[in-house]
């Protein structure tokens, strides 16, 4: 049986849990080989073992350019090339202005925004060599509209949306497409509603949280050749949250 990602080789950051793990499972099921990169070694190794020969785990802290270089080399060494990069790792935190510290700001920006930049930097040559290639940057509904009290998160996710445009424009002539995905509230370990958050995460048109697999369906599409005419675009998977207030 042929899969939608047959022969593709993907590196997924933050692939050990939540949506990243869901993407890894679906990619393997659709015929891809996947290198799972995460700081969560135990969960990442467990998932890779569960997925078998088509998957491997590597310790990847997305704030480290050196970790990224090693991860890209490992993907090429183990699976022969790298034609899909999913910049998925991210953290969420909240705090009102005046209490939210510069350290919190820097940490969130460095994981959520500098991480994808370092990933693109490290993977660029391998992706171009493997063309046609695809980069999927996981932004958020918070990259489309503000989230009260989530200053660095909102800024980082708007930043990921912008980085997607500049990278897509630069890499288009080299056969690399770059798109952003904007999930709304998705049921993952990330969203035990944090202290201090007043966000009503069910406030969307569909009136419920989303499941990781509902985002994965879009990520698989973007990683595959089915999306060959999509680049520099925003794919919103938010149950209608950013459309406006439900009736
Ligand atoms: N869950 C939601 O409602 C939601 C909504 C919109 C966007 N997102 C985005 O989706 C992505 C995945 O989130 P999730 O909900 O699956 O969260 P999650 O917490 O389940 O998974 C995030 C993963 O990133 C890893 N990670 C954290 N810091 C890292 C680092 N420095 N280097 C490498 N890996 C690191 C974690 O170990 C974890 O495995 C994130 O970018 C998040 O911002 C989530």
pLDDT digits (tens, 9 = 90+) for 99-149: 999 999 999 999 999 999 999 999 999 999 999 999 999 999 999 999 999
Separation of alpha carbons 98 and 227, rounded Å:
44
Which of 17, 63, 90 should be mutated for ligand 1, with most atoms under 8 A from CB? 90
The pLDDT of residue 245 = 81
Q: Which H or E run contains 12?
A: strand 9-13
pLDDT computed for residue 12 by the predictor:
99
- Decide yes or no: CATH 3.40.50.720 for domain 9-241: yes
Q: Give the pLDDT mean for 31-41.
A: 98
Tokens of 159: 């930043």
Q: How many CB atoms lie within 10 A of CB 169?
A: 12
pLDDT for res 207: 78
pLDDT single digits (tens) 180-216 = 999 999 999 987 644 445 556 666 777 789 999 999 9
Closest C-alpha to ligand 1, atom 42:
90
- Which residue in this structure is represented by tokens 């590196």? 11
Residue ID of nearest Cα to ligand 1 atom 7: 140
Catalytic residue numbers, as ranges: 153
- Closest ligand 1 atom, CA of 138? 41
Give the nearest ligand 1 atom to 110 CA.
31
Question: Whole-number mean pLDDT of the chain?
Answer: 95
In 73-155, DSSP assigns E strands to 84-87, 133-138
- Residue 217 tokens, joined: 């369906």
* pLDDT of amino acid 79: 98
Q: Is 205 exposed, middle or buried (0-12, 13-18, 19+ CB in 10 A)?
A: middle
pTM of the model: 0.96
211 Cα distance to chain centroid: 15
Q: Give the position, in ligand 1's atom list, of the atom nearest the Cα of 187.
A: 1
- Contact by Cβ (8 Å): 102, 29: no
Mutate to test the pocket of ligand 1, among 18, 68, 94 (most ligand atoms within 8 A of CB): 18
Measured CA distances, 233 to 8, 162, 211 (Å): 21, 10, 22
Query: What is the spatial distance between Cα 98 and Cα 14, in angstroms, rounded to a whole number?
Result: 30
How far is the C-alpha of 182 from the C-alpha of 197, rounded, in Å?
20
- Output 152-156 pairs: Cβ under 8 A, ≥24 positions apart: 152/93, 152/100, 152/104, 152/105, 152/107, 152/108, 152/109, 152/112, 153/91, 153/92, 153/93, 153/94, 153/108, 153/112, 155/109, 155/113, 156/90, 156/108, 156/109, 156/111, 156/112, 156/113
In the reported structure, the alpha carbon of residue 97 is separated from the centroid of ligand 1 by a whole-number distance in angstroms of 23
How far apart, in Å, are the Cα atoms of 242 and each of 137, 182, 201, 231, 238?
18, 10, 12, 21, 7
Ligand 1 pocket member 62 (CB < 6 A): yes
**Which is nearest to 122 in space by CA: 80, 155, 88, 75?**
75
Protein residue whose Cα sits closest to atom 25 of ligand 1: 14
């Amino acid at each position: 049986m042929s899969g939608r990602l047959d022969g593709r080789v993907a590196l997924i950051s933050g692939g050990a849990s939540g949506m990243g793990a869901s993407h890894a499972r679906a990619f393997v099921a659709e015929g891809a080989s996947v290198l799972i990169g995460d700081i969560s070694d135990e969960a990442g190794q467990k998932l890779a073992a569960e997925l078998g020969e088509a998957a491997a785990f590597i310790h990847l802290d997305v704030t480290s350019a050196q970790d990224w270089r090693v991860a890209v080399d490992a993907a090429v060494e183990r699976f022969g090339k790298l034609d899909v990069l999913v910049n998925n790792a991210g953290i969420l935190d909240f705090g009102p202005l005046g209490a939210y510290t510069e350290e919190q700001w820097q940490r969130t920006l460095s994981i959520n925004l500098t991480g994808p930049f370092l990933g693109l930097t490290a993977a660029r040559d391998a992706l171009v060599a493997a063309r046609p290639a695809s980069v999927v940057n996981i932004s958020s509904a918070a990259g489309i509209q503000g989230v009260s009290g989530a200053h660095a998160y909102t800024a980082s996710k708007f930043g990921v949306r912008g980085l997607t445009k500049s990278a897509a424009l630069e890499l288009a002539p080299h056969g690399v497409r770059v798109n952003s995905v904007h999930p709304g509230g998705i049921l993952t370990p990330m969203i035990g509603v944090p202290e201090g958050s007043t966000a009503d995460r069910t406030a969307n048109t569909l009136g419920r949280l989303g499941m990781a697999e509902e985002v994965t369906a879009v990520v698989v599409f973007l990683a595959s050749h089915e999306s060959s005419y999509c680049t520099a675009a925003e794919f919103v998977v938010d149950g209608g949250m950013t459309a406006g207030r439900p009736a």
